[in-house]
Amino acid sequence: MKRGGRALPWVDAVAFARRAIEGSLADRAVGDVSARWVFFDRGLIDAAAALEHLAGEPAVESLGRVYRYNKRVFLASPWPEIYALDQERRHGLAEAVAEYNRLIDVYPSLGYDIHVLPKVSVAERANWILASLAR
């Protein structure tokens, strides 16, 4: 946005998805493989699913089978009571729900186990994640 780029979801969503894939691959490349847990917010599979949805390119299968994450995936469902638009989030709740529903289908198709975060405070969600990882 600062540089006036066009690879923004509200300007060129396909270019944005492609840039998100590039960024996700770069994040994976520099991730600390010795760390016990590494968290990726909106990772490669999310971006591939978006590209596939928007452009019809078969990105999920080709990228999702090659670049693997931990089997446990934590998803936050759209939460109408706290959902808000801002400069970086310009898509409405209906679009967020549609994207969430796509991801609910995509991750299990690649062998991932989805864990939907409870609708509680940020601290409680963080504790819930840590407790589930300890199991």
Domain ranges of the chain: 13-134
CA distances to 51, 62, 84, 116, 134 from 78, rounded to whole Å, are: 20, 27, 10, 11, 26
Contact status, residue 48 vs residue 37, Cβ threshold 8 Å:
no
pLDDT of residue 119: 96
- H/E stretch holding 94: helix 93-109
Half-sphere exposure of 3 (CA within 13 A, CB side): 4
Max avg pLDDT among 35-44, 62-71, 82-91, 96-105: 96-105
Higher pLDDT, 64 or 90: 64
Please state the pTM of the whole predicted model. Answer: 0.89
pLDDT at 86 over 80: yes
Tokens of 3: 């540089």
Q: How confident is the model at residue 85 (pLDDT cuts 50, 70, 90)?
A: confident
47-68: pLDDT as tens digits: 999 999 999 999 999 999 999 9
